[in-house]
C-alpha cells in the first residue's frame, strides 16, 4: 500500500508553484529488465542504478532539474547491458521543460567461451576430444571434436563462443603407439590456472561471460625407441606347407605387448610382434594332427630397437593332411556412422578348433575372415554404447574342411542423436511478435539465424516469418537465434526448441521452433 501511495502522490510532489498556480516539473523514471536465456540467474535486484553518480530507486518517477543527466548500471560479470527509451545508447537523458521521461536499461546474460588447443611435439597427428557437461539438461555445443596438427611443435585450435554455464570434462581419446599426453592445463582470461586434471583430461567450470583456454600437449617418440620386434617363423618338416599355425605371445615377468598378442603364421612366412623391453615366450595354438618338434621361442629377451627371431618346427603326425575352413563375417550399419569399428569374436560350439586369432575388427561394407578347423562355430560381437545388434546369421555355423561360410551382422544406431550425414530432417522456424504495450515491430523486422556450430546453414540468416521458414538439414544439433533484438522486446523460445534456441534434428523428422518477441 505504501508503494501504491508513493506512485500516486509522487507526480503531485513534482509540481512547482508559479504565480499562485501549480506548474508541472520534469521527472525521470528508470526501469531495469534482466533477460536470462543463457543460463544466468541474476535478477533486477543485482543491478543497482545511479543517476549522476548517486544511488537511484528504479521504477518511480523522480523530480529532476532541467538539464543533462547520466544514468549508469552497476556492471556484473557475465552480463552486458543496453539503454533505450528516452536515454541514448550511453545512458544520457536531457530534461527540458515539464517532461516525464523514462529510461529503459536491459541486462542480458552472456555465453561463456572455451578454446581448446592441441600441440604436438615430435610429429604431426590427429587427436580426438570429447567435451561433456555435468548438467546434461543444458545444451552442449561441442560434444566430439577432432584437432589435427602439422609438423613438430604445430598447434591446432578451436574456439566455441556459445558455452552454457556448467562444469565441463574435456577428455582426449586413446593414444596411438608412440604418442604420450602431458598433463593438460586451463587458464582464464587473466592467465590464472584453473580446473582439475585427470589422467586423460581436465574438469573446469565455466560461468556466464567466462573465457577459458585449455591446452593439451602430446609428445611423439619414434617406435624404434619404444619397442623391439619378435619375428616368428614356421617351418613344416612334413605335411601341408599351406597350413596356418596360430601363435600367441606373453611377457615372462616384465614386458609390454604393443598391438595384437595373437597371430597366424605359415611355412616360410613371418609374423611380427611389437614388444617393449622385457622377456617373452611365444606359444603355438595346439592343432590336431600336428606336433611341435622344436622351438627357439621361449624366454626371449628384447630391448628397444632389437629384433629377435624365433622358429617353430612342425611335423604332421595325423593320418590325413588336415584342411581348414574359413568363416567370413560381413558388417552392415543402419542409421549410424559407417566408420564405426566393431569387435567380433569367434568360438567353437562343441567340436572345432579356431586356427590363429579368435578376435577381429570389422566396419560397414567390410569383412573379417577367421580360419577354423572342421566343426561348429558362433561369432559374437563386443557391445558398443548407443549401438544395437539387430540381426545376425553368425550362430551355429557348421564348417567342413575347405569350406567357406559367410555370415552377416547388422547393427543399428540407437543413440539420442543421429551421426552427421545419415539423412535429413526438416526444421521450420516461426517468428511471432506480441505488441501489447504499443510496440510497432512485425516478424520481418527480426533477422533469424539457424546455426550449425558457429556457421550459418544454407539460406540463413533470413527475415522472420509468422508462417514459418523451412530448412532441410542433415541430422544433428542446431541453434536458432535472432540478431541483437530491438530494445524494448523480450524473446522467448517454444515449440521443439530448448533453452537458448538449441534443437536436435533426426533423420526423417520435422520439428518446429517458434520465437516470440514481446514488447515491454
Q: What string of DSSP letters covers 504-518?
A: EE-TT-EEEEEEEEE
Q: Which residues make up the CATH 2.60.40.1140 domain(s) of the chain? A: 228-316, 325-413
- Fold designation for 424-519: Immunoglobulin-like (2.60.40)
Which pLDDT score, from 0 to 100, does residue 416 have? 58
Q: What is the pLDDT of residue 93?
A: 94
The order of strands in the sheet holding 307-316 is 257-258, 270-275, 228-238, 307-316, 290-295
Local confidence pLDDT in tens for the 520 residues of the chain: 334 334 444 444 344 433 333 345 789 999 999 999 988 999 999 999 999 999 999 999 999 889 999 999 998 999 999 999 999 999 999 998 888 999 999 999 999 999 999 999 988 888 999 999 888 888 887 889 888 988 888 899 999 999 999 999 999 988 776 788 888 999 999 999 999 988 789 999 999 999 999 999 998 876 656 678 999 998 888 778 788 889 999 999 888 887 788 888 888 889 999 888 899 999 998 888 888 876 789 999 998 888 899 998 888 887 765 578 899 999 988 877 777 899 999 999 988 899 889 999 999 888 899 999 889 999 999 998 888 999 999 999 999 888 889 999 999 888 754 444 457 889 999 999 998 888 888 999 899 999 987 888 989 999 999 999 999 998 888 999 888 666 788 888 899 998 788 898 888 889 999 998 888 7
pTM above 0.75, yes or no: no
Residue partners of 253: CB distance under 8 A and separation at least 6: 278, 279
User: Is-contact 102 32, C-beta < 8 A?
Assistant: no
pLDDT at 507: 84
Give me the pLDDT at residue 385, please. 84
Residue range(s) of every CATH 2.60.40.10 domain in the chain: 424-519
User: In angstroms, rounded to a whole number, what is the distance separating the alpha carbons of residues 368 and 416?
Assistant: 29
CA-nearest of 270, 38, 73, 281 to 161 is 38
Which class is 112-221 in CATH? Answer: mainly beta
Q: Strands of 79-85's sheet, edge to edge?
A: 62-63, 27-35, 100-109, 79-85
- CATH number belonging to domain 228-316: 2.60.40.1140
CATH 3.40.50.2300 fits 325-413, yes or no: no
Q: In this predicted structure, what is the pLDDT of residue 22?
A: 39
Buried b (16+ CB within 10 A) or exposed e, 260-287: eebbbbbbeeebebbbbbbebbbbbbeb
C-alpha 258/C-alpha 499 separation (Å) is 47
The total of other beta-carbon atoms located within 10 Å of residue 449's CB is 18
d(CA 109, CA 39): 7
Rounded to whole angstroms, the Cα distance separating 504 from 11 reads 52
Q: Would you give the end-to-end CA distance of the chain in angstroms?
A: 24
What is the pLDDT, as a whole number, of residue 10?
43
Amino acid at each position: 500500500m505504501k508503494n501504491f501511495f508513493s506512485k500516486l502522490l509522487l507526480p503531485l510532489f513534482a509540481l512547482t508553484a508559479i504565480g499562485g498556480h501549480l506548474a508541472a516539473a520534469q521527472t525521470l523514471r528508470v526501469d531495469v529488465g534482466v533477460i536470462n536465456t543463457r543460463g544466468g540467474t541474476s535478477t533486477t535486484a543485482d543491478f543497482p542504478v545511479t543517476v549522476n553518480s548517486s544511488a537511484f530507486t528504479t521504477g518511480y518517477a523522480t523530480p529532476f532539474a532541467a538539464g543533462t543527466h547520466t544514468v549508469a548500471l552497476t556492471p556484473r560479470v557475465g552480463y552486458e547491458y543496453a539503454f533505450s527509451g528516452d536515454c541514448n545508447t550511453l545512458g544520457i537523458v536531457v530534461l527540458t521543460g515539464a517532461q516525464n521521461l523514462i529510461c529503459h536499461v536491459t541486462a542480458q546474460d552472456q555465453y561463456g567461451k572455451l578454446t581448446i588447443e592441441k600441440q604436438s611435439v615430435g610429429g604431426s597427428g590427429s587427436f580426438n576430444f570429447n567435451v561433456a557437461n555435468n548438467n546434461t539438461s543444458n545444451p552442449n555445443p561441442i560434444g566430439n571434436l577432432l584437432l589435427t596438427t602439422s609438423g613438430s611443435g604445430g598447434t591446432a585450435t578451436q574456439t566455441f563462443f556459445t558455452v552454457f554455464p556448467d562444469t565441463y570434462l574435456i577428455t582426449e581419446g586413446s593414444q596411438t603407439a608412440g604418442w604420450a599426453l602431458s598433463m593438460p592445463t586451463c587458464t582464464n582470461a587473466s592467465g590464472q590456472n584453473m580446473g582439475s586434471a585427470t589422467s586423460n583430461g581436465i574438469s573446469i567450470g565455466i560461468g556466464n561471460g567466462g573465457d577459458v583456454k585449455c591446452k593439451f600437449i602430446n609428445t611423439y617418440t619414434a617406435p624404434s625407441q619404444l619397442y623391439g620386434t619378435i619375428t616368428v617363423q614356421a617351418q613344416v618338416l612334413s605335411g601341408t606347407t599351406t597350413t596356418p599355425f596360430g601363435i600367441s605371445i606373453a611377457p615372462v615377468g616384465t614386458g609390454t605387448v604393443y598391438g595384437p598378442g595373437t597371430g597366424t603364421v605359415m611355412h616360410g612366412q613371418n609374423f611380427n610382434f611389437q614388444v617393449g623391453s622385457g622377456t617373452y615366450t611365444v606359444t603355438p595354438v595346439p592343432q590336431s594332427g600336428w606336433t611341435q618338434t622344436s622351438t627357439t621361442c621361449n624366454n626371449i629377451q628384447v630391448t628397444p630397437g632389437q629384433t629377435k627371431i624365433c622358429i617353430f618346427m612342425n611335423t604332421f603326425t595325423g593320418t590325413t593332411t588336415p584342411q581348414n575352413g574359413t568363416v567370413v563375417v560381413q558388417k552392415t550399419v543402419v542409421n549410424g556412422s559407417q566408420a564405426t569399428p566393431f569387435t567380433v569374436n569367434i568360438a567353437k560350439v562343441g567340436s572345432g578348433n579356431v586356427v590363429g586369432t579368435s578376435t577381429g575388427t570389422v566396419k560397414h561394407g567390410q569383412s573379417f575372415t577367421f580360419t577354423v578347423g572342421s566343426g561348429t562355430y558362433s561369432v559374437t560381437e563386443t557391445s558398443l554404447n548407443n549401438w544395437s545388434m539387430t540381426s545376425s546369421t553368425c550362430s551355429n555355423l557348421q564348417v567342413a574342411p575347405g569350406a567357406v561360410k559367410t555370415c552377416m551382422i547388422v547393427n543399428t544406431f540407437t543413440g539420442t542423436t543421429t551421426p552427421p550425414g545419415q539423412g535429413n530432417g526438416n526444421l521450420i522456424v516461426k517468428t511471432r511478435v506480441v505488441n501489447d504495450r504499443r510496440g510497432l515491430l512485425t516478424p520481418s523486422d527480426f533477422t533469424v539465424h539457424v546455426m550449425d556450430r558457429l556457421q550459418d546453414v544454407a539460406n540463413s540468416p533470413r527475415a522472420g516469418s509468422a508462417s514459418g521458414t523451412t530448412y532441410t538439414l542433415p541430422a544433428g544439433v542446431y541453434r536458432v537465434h535472432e540478431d541483437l533484438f530491438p530494445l524494448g522486446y523480450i524473446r522467448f523460445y517454444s515449440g521443439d526448441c530448448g533453452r537458448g534456441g538449441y534443437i536436435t534434428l533426426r533423420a526423417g523428422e520435422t520439428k518446429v521452433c517458434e520465437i516470440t518477441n514481446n514488447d515491454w
